[in-house]
Structure 1
Amino acid sequence: MGATGAVRARGMSGAGGSDDVVVFYPAGKDLAGWARDYGAGARPDAWPYGLNKLAHHVSSVKARNLPRDTAMQGALRRLMRATPPALWRGRGPVGLVWDENSVDRLAAVPALRSRFSGVVWLTDQLATKEPSWLAERRSMLRRMDGLWVLSSAQVGPLQHFIGEDGPRVHHVVFGVDADFFHAAPPPETPLLVSVGGDRDRDAATLFRALARVRHERPDVEIIIQTTSREEPPAGVTLVPHLSHGELRQLYQRASVCVIATRPNTHVSGMTVGLESMATGRPLIITETPGMADYFGGTDGAQMVAPSDADALAAAALRLLNDPTQRQRRGQAARAHVEGGFTTDHLGARVAAVVSV
């Protein structure tokens, strides 16, 4: 398959079984380096997104890189676009990619038995992207045998976009490595943490909330990691990019984690939310469509309306002012993740999709 950086899931049989699966990652993803870091305890899971956990549910799974862009690969993709999907099927393994940004490259991998892709960003791009871009993306997604999304709010819009006669859209609930992001004792000094900088984080609302927290509880340390260029409130510490190990340490030092996002359908913030909860820290997060898939029905998380800085601050202050409640909710947070939101659960859900 012209792929590099193969990594074999431990304890699995050799290739060739009827359930063989290959997880394809972008050409530039250093899979061998990721595995080394995992072995050294510096990264969660042996593969990105914890897809090594598929090994518990299929006969054999490998991780490989997609081919790098070359003139030959470009010609191959042009040929793929001009020919029916059936001509690209074979008796090889099942192939999958994590998101839609790699779907055209997966479609051009020859001889795969079937192809599956996650879709992360597209449902929030339908109103903004050019029609020609959307048509190309739709064409590639329709060449897949199945798709999955991480939010229930994405299922309907994506199925409508690709057509009812297109591949089925599955809802797959995400999970995190609860062994890497393990629980820690409550901190002795109060610390509020906010992490993340994707396109739908709401720095303006977050900063208004943090300013109120600083005003009412100046003794509380506040640390944020963000890509926003807005000036944070006085007394708030801004940190640059964090490694996975540094991120875990920050969560474990925290009293509470706070996340503010703009309305979106791809549940921006849910990864950080689950990671922080896995360490036993209560979460406060914006309630956007699909967020209840992850943080509903638990005392470990509280959701507030979008753009409501007062509600965000009030929820944080209640926890900061009540150590007993904070500890109880932190324990509930850890139990919530263990009960259905780990990469073990994620592996089972993705395996169910690709086995259809």
Structure 2
Amino acid sequence: MDIGIPSEKLFSATFGVSHRFYSPGQGVRDIPLLAVGQDRGRDYRTLIDAIGGTELTLDLVSRPENLQGIDIPANVRAHPPVPLAQYRSLLKRAQIVAVPTHDLAYPTGQSVALEAAASGCAVVVTGTRAMREYFRDGIDAEFVEVGDVEGWRSTLQALREDPTRRDRLGSAARHNVVNKHNADHMWAEIADVLRDRGIVKGSRQTS
């Protein structure tokens, strides 16, 4: 898509979150399944349809308007947006974090997914083009196809019954952020580009 900016003025950087601010806690992970997010790219209808009629329980933190027109079953607890400190606490307590999204022209859901990963949660995401830039299916996250109700249901039920698999995914997810998708890495890349282009002075960063 032509947005009127010369290509030589553009560059890409590896997006990341703070792996120090978002980190695993020492307490019990007593939230079996958590979903957080309020942008228009979230596909909560698919997730809630997958949860309905199962023994799964979902804590969903979002704005009421994100859930308009969706029938909320008894095993889904809807919460309004929470302060940052409470959000971080929820990630430390969550066993599984679900990030259901639509496949849009722009990335959506990656911040929550990476923050959950940094917190050591087992992460399940919609396998959009954007999410495939951040995670590897079956290694540091589980992917479900766009709009796949049965896929979400079977994936979440399987993880619920397999704590060893959850722990493995959570550890790999944390490793993914610590080693690549973290803010230190992102800003070092940006700083190196600015130095290479003569915008700021100094030597390139080495990892």
Q: 1:290 is matched with which residue? A: 130
SS at match of 1:238: strand
Task: Single out whichever of 220-229 and 192-201 deviates more from structure 2.
Answer: 220-229
List gaps (5 residues or longer) in structure 1.
1-156
CA deviations 1:83-106 (Å, max 9, x no partner) are xxxxxxxxxxxxxxxxxxxxxxxx
1:209 aligns with 2:38: no
For residue 204 of structure 1, report the CA deviation from its aligned partner: 1.3
Secondary structure at the residue paired with 2:16? Answer: coil
Q: Does 1:169 align with 2:10?
A: yes
- How far apart are 1:287 and its partner, in Å? 1.5
> Does the CA contact (< 8 Å) of 1:205 and 1:309 recur in 2?
yes
CA displacement at 1:354 relative to structure 2: 2.9
Task: Give the structure 2 partner of residue 275 of structure 1.
Answer: 115
Report the equivalent of 1:224: 60
Once residues 335 and 225 of structure 1 are traced to their aligned partners in structure 2, the CA distance between those partners, rounded to angstroms, is 26
Is 2:99 the counterpart of 1:259? yes
Deviation at 1:167, TM superposition (A): 4.8
For 2:25 and 2:121, locate their aligned partners in 1 and report how far apart those are by CA, in whole Å.
9
Query: Residues 190 and 198 of structure 1: is their aligned pair in 2 closer, same or farther, counting only changes over 3 Å?
Result: closer
CA distance in 1, matches of 2:26, 2:139: 18
* 1:87-236 alignment runs, 5 A limit: 157=1, 160-162=2-4, 165=6, 167-185=8-26, 187=28, 189=30, 191-211=32-52, 215-217=53-55, 220-227=56-63, 228=66, 229=68, 230-236=70-76
Over 3 Å counting, the alpha-carbon distance change for 1:249 and 1:303 in structure 2 is: same
**1:185 & 1:209 partners in 2: Cα distance?**
31
Q: CA deviation at 1:297?
A: 6.2
Q: After TM superposition, give the deviation of residue 249 of structure 1 in Å.
A: 0.9
Shift of 1:209: 1.6
Deviation at 1:257, TM superposition (A): 0.5
- Deviation, 1:221, is 3.5
Shift of 1:350: 2.0
User: What TM-score, normalized to structure 2?
Assistant: 0.84
Dislocated runs of 4+, deviation >6 Å: none
Residues 321-355 of structure 1, C-alpha deviations (whole Å, 9 max, x = no match): 00111111111111111011111111112223333
Q: Which amino acid is 1:247 matched to?
A: Y
RMSD: 2.0
Shift in alpha-carbon separation, 1:298–1:313, aligned structure 2, 3 A: closer
Distance 2:95 2:27 in 1: 7
Provide the TM-score with structure 1 as the length reference: 0.50
Give 3-state SS (helix, strand or coil) of 2:60's partner: strand
Contact 1:298 1:332 in 2 (8 A): no
Paired residues of 1:265 and 1:289 also in contact (CA < 8 A): no
Higher relative contact order (CA 8 A, sep 6+): 2
